[in-house]
Amino acid sequence: MSHPFETLTPDLVLDAVESIGFLSDARVLALNSYENRVYQVGIDESEPLIAKFYRPQRWTNQAILEEHRFTFELAECEVPVVAPIVHDGASLFEHAGFRFALFPRRGGRAPEPGNLDQLYRLGQLLGRLHAVGATRPFEHREALGVQNFGQDSLATLLQGGFIPKSLLPAYESVARDLLKRVEEVYQATPHQTIRLHGDCHPGNMMCRDEMFHIVDLDDCRMGPAVQDLWMMLAGNRQDCLGQLSELMDGYSEFHDFDPRELALIEPLRALRLMHYSAWLARRWDDPAFPHSFPWFGSERYWGEQVLALREQLAALDEEPLKLF
């Protein structure tokens, strides 16, 4: 059976954009995206637009529109974010069975790992994001939790036959031990859930003209504030302590942070590791995935995953990072 995205041809992309009233110059450039399909589309006598076609059956319309509303809230509060284009009062459109949104093109470069000046400014930006995110909850988007990111991920991997038989006992054993510890730390750590970016790696915080802006809120969800912070840190423990200090100095100018949440960094890292493998497994019927991730399913990949989960299990027994 063919995958739905196989019918998303360049002509269909152009037709979709022109159905909203834009006149294209027939130039279409596929951008680096796997979960959805994203294209730069040339517009006659104007700047190109970015067209994002949502993966069928992943989000409900209500969940997508809730993402858009969150982005508009941020923009209204002057938080630099790339918001969808509104046309005739709508931001979500449909063409030939595909739901899509249009965005202005906003390029930039990712932050430099460990750059303390940039971390201070990123902290300010994330503090502003969370100040808006904390004002009300999502109603149609799931929360980040041990069940959906951990237990459900493990179930997907065990039931799908993706792990080589030679490594299956080792992976299952360490994964179950790890999830037990993650659950214990989660239960013991006081934290509040707010609206988050959800996938706040450095590639989604772009710098242009010395100003950072937020892109791609496709994975926004409810969760602890530290989820949007820990991926900004890089290097050894001592490096991370200095980086965390700069990040939180900027963050605290705009939003309060409960330092007890720092105990969730390693549990969240563990959940992200398992969720990533499960994400690849769930998308394996999409032809783009075997082509782009040919190593998935190899003994080498799963051997590295067993080692990574064992290291995470050990990290959970170490003292969490602290603010000084």
Of 216, 204, 247, 29, whose CA–CA distance to 108 is shortest?
A: 204
Residue 90 has pLDDT above 60, yes or no: yes
Per-residue burial over 261-278, b if 16 or more Cβ lie within 10 Å, else e, is bbbbbbbbbbbbbbbebb
Residue 242's CB is within 10 A of a number of other CB atoms, namely 15
Would you list the domain boundaries of the chain? 8-104, 116-317
In this structure, are residues 260 and 220 in contact, taking their beta carbons and an 8 Å threshold? Answer: no
Q: Which residues are annotated as a binding site?
A: 204, 216
Mean pLDDT of 283-310: 95
Q: Report the pLDDT averaged over residues 207-217.
A: 90
Residue 199 among the catalytic residues = yes
Q: What residues are designated binding site for Mg(2+)?
A: 204, 216
In angstroms, rounded to a whole number, what is the distance separating the alpha carbons of residues 112 and 115? 6
**Model pLDDT, residue 290:** 94
* Marked catalytic residue, from 216, 228, 285, 317: 216
Helix (H, G, I), strand (E, B) or coil at 130: helix
What mean pLDDT comes out for the span 138-144? 96
Phi/psi for 246 (5° steps) reads -65, -45
Please state the rounded mean pLDDT for residues 259-268. 97
Which residue is associated with the tokens 């459900």?
152
The pLDDT assigned to 113 comes to: 87
Q: What percent of the chain has pLDDT over 70?
A: 99
Q: 116-317: which CATH topology?
A: Transferase(Phosphotransferase); domain 1 (1.10.510)
Mean pLDDT over the full length of the chain? 95
- The confidence score (pLDDT) of residue 2 equals 60
**CA–centroid distance for 2 within its chain:** 27
Check residue 167 and give its pLDDT: 97
* pTM: predicted TM-score of the whole model, two decimal places: 0.94
Sign of the alpha-carbon dihedral angle for 69, 75, 81, 83: positive
What does the pLDDT average to over 38-59? 95
Active site residue 216: yes
User: Does 1 have pLDDT greater than 80?
Assistant: no
Query: Element (H or E) spanning 27, and its range?
Result: strand 24-30
Please state which of the ranges 2-6, 124-128, 133-137 shows the lowest mean pLDDT.
Answer: 2-6
How many whole angstroms separate alpha carbon 193 and alpha carbon 223?
Answer: 4
| Predicted pLDDT of residue 233 | 95
CB 228 within 8 A of CB 234: no
**Is a pLDDT exceeding 90 seen at residue 159?**
yes
> Which residue in the list 25, 88, 199, 285 is annotated as catalytic?
199
Q: How confident is the model at residue 324 (pLDDT cuts 50, 70, 90)?
A: confident
Question: In the CATH scheme, what is the code of domain 8-104?
Answer: 3.30.200.70
